[in-house]
Amino acid sequence: MNLCQLSDAERTAIELDKQAAFVVWKIKQGKAGNDEVMRQLDSLSTPEQKARFQEAVDKYHARIKA
């Protein structure tokens, strides 16, 4: 898959998913707290981005707990 061929929205969705995975990994490793999730959410510009990021965080948290 060539990421350059994706639309801006699709590239943004992938980036938000990567950021969420990294934040959850940092929390699992004890290198960050839940406040890091809030910091990331505050840095996002649209409600859609915030919702997508939160969904991804929830998805990765569920994988860790399973």
Q: Consecutive 10-residue runs of the chain (66 residues): their mean pLDDT?
A: 91 97 96 95 96 97 87
50 burial class (0-12, 13-18, 19+ CB within 10 angstroms)? middle
* pLDDT of the residue at 53: 98
In angstroms, the CA 16 to CA 55 distance is 10
* pLDDT of the residue at 65: 83
Q: Is 63 left (phi over 0), alpha (psi -120 to 50) or beta?
A: alpha
Q: Which of 8, 61, 2, 55 is nearest to 34 (CA)?
A: 61
- The verdict on pTM exceeding 0.85 is yes
Spans of all domains in the chain: 33-66
The answer to whether the Cα torsion of 44, 48, 65, 18 is positive or negative is negative
* pLDDT of the residue at 63: 93
